[in-house]
Chain A
Amino acid sequence: MKKLLFTAMLLLVISGASRQAMAAPLWQWEATLQQKQVGTPMSLPSALHIDPVLGRYYVVDSGNNRILTFDRAGEFHRGFDAADQLRVPFDLVREAGVLWIVEKGKNSLTKIDLEAKKIYPKTLSADGKLLYPDRLEIEKNILYTLDKASGSVFALDKNLNISSRFSCGKCDLGFVDFKIRNGSLWALEQGSKKIYRFAMNGSLQETIQLDRSSVDFPRSIEVDDIGFFYILDRHQGSIAVFDGRGGFRYSFLEPGQARGQLYYPIELKFDPWGRLCVVDEGNGRVQIFSHK
């Protein structure tokens, strides 16, 4: 009888401990993308793009009007300013031989042909209204950009013609970020703290209300393989994790300037190696965290 009781207690302790571990996994700092030794320090970085084939990080160094590249280990590779042509670059994606850059200073989605060394800025419009590109993603050769003015995401072909629109309808202020993950487009609405999931043809599939008290000022979203949401809280300097139904699970990181702390962070992105990258705008760096 005593043995039975002991075994039951042991099982309870083990299951409790494992639940605890699942509820709050440990994220550890692994690397910082920061130009320390060479030239001007990074200033107000706004976005990160990762090339899984080259194993390279592209950081938009918005404050210095340039793009910086780093290798997978976090070592600085080189800087690129398109012969000083960039004006307030904000986001970018890269495909074979081409960089697409959102330039806020020109209100342009700019194509840079790397081989021809040519720059093609273009101001977009839809239904007679100017678009103000903000976030940018690429998936299966289709560009997706968030229009800051309307708060909608637009899908664009290579000629930058609009092929579909992802909108939250009558929500207050529209989306502030989006990601394409697991075959869906996930968009974050800041005011109501909701996540919208769209099919890739633009039709709304579901709306998920996040636990409102767990995040103050949501600024960026990531989605992992099991459908958990990672929400970057710009004002709290932290990342809140929610399950697929919007239930709060745990949060990590804190505000500040030291390693592992955030100051006005702006973007969240998983790299292809399962690490969570935080573009830490106020601290002029990108911090990379791995899941232990």
Chain B
Amino acid sequence: MSPKYPHLFACCIFMIVMAFGTTAFGAKICYDCHKRSIFKNKLIHEPVARDNCTSCHNPHAAKHAGLLKKEVSVLCYTCHGDKKDSFNKGIVHDPVRRGECTSCHDPHASAAKGLMKGKYADSCFNCHESLARTFKYMHQPYAKGQCQSCHSPHQAENYQLLNVSATKICRKCHSQGEIAGAHKNYPVAISTCLSCHNPHGSNNKAIVRSVRHAPFIKDCNTCHGRSTGRVSQETCLGCHEEIREYLLTSHNHLTDNGGNSCVNCHSPHAGDTRQLLKDRPLLLCRSCHNDTYMRHEENIFVHTVTANDCQLCHAVHGANQVAMLKGDGNSVCLGCHPNQGQFSHPVGRGVIDPRNNQEATCLSCHDPHGTDFKGQLKMSGQEALCVQCHHL
């Protein structure tokens, strides 16, 4: 017996074979080698639940690790494309921006909501290793591993991925009355709780940050006096006179729309370090200079020693140099590379860069943040860079 439409029949058979061959039948073959139990949990990713391994993996060969058909981010967005636009808005969490979905999510199965890898906080601590796990006094959400109660894991409009601005976030749980009751006789309006309190925890009661500013311990009126508004930087400079000279420079961080420039970076009340910085130096600098960070993030050759501490090269209060460098383009580098310029390419006094008629410095050829050329050269050291000055 032969079918009436042999071509149509053949097509149908082919489609059926392909459909089953690449889904259930395919998965069955996969499970011959890969333990099925690994892919079982309280919550199972839909393609896995449908035994559709080949929706993500190529069973034969692939360019990407895990025999993935495409890069992780591209693959995830083929189904979760509706999230792509929103995940690119505002401040984006680094793993999201790099398309590393699987650094937090298990693509197969998980016991946690959102297919998180392990407990929610475990995913966070995998990268945020420097965060202390325990304190004498712990903030309850932190103690319970509820990072998402304050932070948005993908993106946010606020610094540090806070899901509400820093001035309002505490009021999600703590009422105005409760806050006022805990701060009786406080001389000014309470605006930023994070200025004094560590939202994770502290060894001080009421999770007050570990290093307290001396006037804060002694008497609020030392700084606030009779003022009920913001304290100006002149008040800060009254004690920290040595900083004033940095403000009398061509480039400085005197920028705060009529308020107090000092509190852009420093907490006036309490902090976690002696400098009372509001955050780790790199994160603090990134909060305004994210473009510099982003421009060099993908570079192959990075100046690793200084990558996490801008203060090693930059005078962060101010300087009479471009980029607020601590010295000219030679002296900054010579602090760590004292022999450079003596036996290698000459730089400094009397050595003129013909491109701009300026004294040649390390920065004439190197970009210390990072480049795609060895030694953080600005161009290939094979030829392109040299012929800029040494014409063939």
Question: Is A149 within 8 A of B256, CB to CB?
Answer: yes
Q: Once the chains are docked, how many angstroms separate the CA of A50 from the CA of B254?
A: 28
Flag whether A75 is at the interface (Cβ < 8 A): no
Q: Which of A207-249 contact B (CB under 8 A)?
A: 216-217, 235
Flag whether B292 is at the interface (Cβ < 8 A): yes
A-side interface residues, number (CB < 8 Å): 46
List of A residues within 8 angstroms of B184 by Cβ: none
Name which of A46, A87, A132, A167 has the most chain B CB atoms within 10 A of its CB.
A132
Question: Is B248 within 8 A of A151, CB to CB?
Answer: no
Q: Given A149-B261, A217-B291, A283 and B356 touching (CB < 8 A)?
A: yes
Closest to A90 in B: B250
Flag whether B364 is at the interface (Cβ < 8 A): yes
CB of B276 to closest CB in A, whole Å: 21
Binding-face segment, A5-13, A101-109, A137-145: A101-109
Flag whether A251 is at the interface (Cβ < 8 A): no
Closest to A175 in B: B257
CB of B189 to closest CB in A, whole Å: 16
Q: Once the chains are docked, how many angstroms separate the CA of A264 from the CA of B252?
A: 15
Flag whether B353 is at the interface (Cβ < 8 A): yes
A-contact bits for B247-261, CB 8 A (1 contact / 0 none): 111101011111001
Q: Given A130-B234, A282-B322, A283-B358, A150 and B258 touching (CB < 8 A)?
A: yes
Which of A88, A132, A191, A235 contacts B320, CB < 8 Å?
A88
CB of A145 to closest CB in B, whole Å: 14
Q: Once the chains are docked, how many angstroms separate the CA of A257 from the CA of B329?
A: 14
Q: Once the chains are docked, how many angstroms separate the CA of A256 from the CA of B379?
A: 11
Question: Is B357 within 8 A of A174, CB to CB?
Answer: no
List of A residues within 8 angstroms of B353 by Cβ: 257
Question: Is B232 within 8 A of A129, CB to CB?
Answer: yes
Question: Is B258 within 8 A of A149, CB to CB?
Answer: yes
Flag whether A34 is at the interface (Cβ < 8 A): yes
CB of A165 to closest CB in B, whole Å: 10
Closest to A169 in B: B257
Q: Once the chains are docked, how many angstroms separate the CA of A258 from the CA of B385?
A: 12
Question: Is A284 within 8 A of B357, CB to CB?
Answer: yes
Question: Is A174 within 8 A of B255, CB to CB?
Answer: yes
Q: Once the chains are docked, how many angstroms separate the CA of A168 from the CA of B256?
A: 12
CB of B159 to closest CB in A, whole Å: 11
Closest to A130 in B: B234
Question: Is B257 within 8 A of A257, CB to CB?
Answer: no
Closest to B318 in A: A104
B-contact bits for A123-137, CB 8 A (1 contact / 0 none): 000000110100000
Q: Given A104-B249, A149-B233, A216 and B322 touching (CB < 8 A)?
A: no
Flag whether A171 is at the interface (Cβ < 8 A): yes
Question: Is A174 within 8 A of B320, CB to CB?
Answer: no
Q: Once the chains are docked, how many angstroms separate the CA of A44 from the CA of B249?
A: 12
CB of B344 to closest CB in A, whole Å: 19
A-contact bits for B39-66, CB 8 A (1 contact / 0 none): 0000000000000000000000000000
Q: Once the chains are docked, how many angstroms separate the CA of A90 from the CA of B234?
A: 22
Name which of A172, A173, A174 has the most chain B CB atoms within 10 A of its CB.
A173
List of A residues within 8 angstroms of B288 by Cβ: 173, 191
List of B residues within 8 angstroms of A167 by Cβ: 258
Closest to B388 in A: A258
B-side interface residues, number (CB < 8 Å): 32
Question: Is B255 within 8 A of A151, CB to CB?
Answer: yes
Which of A46, A173, A256, A283 contacts B250, CB < 8 Å?
A46
Flag whether B321 is at the interface (Cβ < 8 A): yes
List of B residues within 8 angstroms of A282 by Cβ: 322
Q: Given A129-B234, A191-B288, A216-B291, A168 and B257 touching (CB < 8 A)?
A: yes
Which of A41, A174, A259 contacts B256, CB < 8 Å?
A174
Q: Which of B343-376 contact A (CB under 8 A)?
A: 353, 355-359, 364
Closest to B256 in A: A173
Q: Given A173-B257, A257-B388, A235 and B250 touching (CB < 8 A)?
A: no
List of A residues within 8 angstroms of B258 by Cβ: 129, 149-152, 167, 174
Question: Is B295 within 8 A of A216, CB to CB?
Answer: yes
Question: Is A44 within 8 A of B234, CB to CB?
Answer: no
Flag whether B323 is at the interface (Cβ < 8 A): yes
Flag whether A72 is at the interface (Cβ < 8 A): no
CB of A169 to closest CB in B, whole Å: 9
Q: Given A41-B357, A285-B357, A88 and B249 touching (CB < 8 A)?
A: yes
* Known A43-B358, A107-B248, A129-B234; further 14 A-B contacts with Cβ < 8 A: A44-B320, A44-B322, A46-B250, A87-B248, A88-B249, A104-B248, A104-B249, A152-B257, A152-B258, A172-B257, A173-B255, A258-B388, A259-B355, A263-B322
Interface set of A (CB-CB < 8 Å, partner B): 34, 36, 41, 43-44, 46, 62-63, 87-88, 90, 104-107, 129-130, 132, 148-152, 167-168, 170-174, 191, 216-217, 235, 256-259, 263-264, 280-285
4 pairs of A and B residues whose beta carbons are closest in the complex: A150-B258, A216-B291, A257-B355, A264-B322
Interface set of B (CB-CB < 8 Å, partner A): 232-234, 247-250, 252, 254-258, 261, 288-289, 291-292, 295, 320-323, 353, 355-359, 364, 378, 388
18 A/B residue pairs, CB under 8 Å, sorted by A: A41-B357, A44-B322, A88-B248, A88-B250, A104-B248, A105-B249, A129-B258, A132-B247, A150-B256, A151-B257, A168-B257, A174-B258, A216-B291, A257-B356, A258-B388, A263-B322, A264-B323, A283-B358
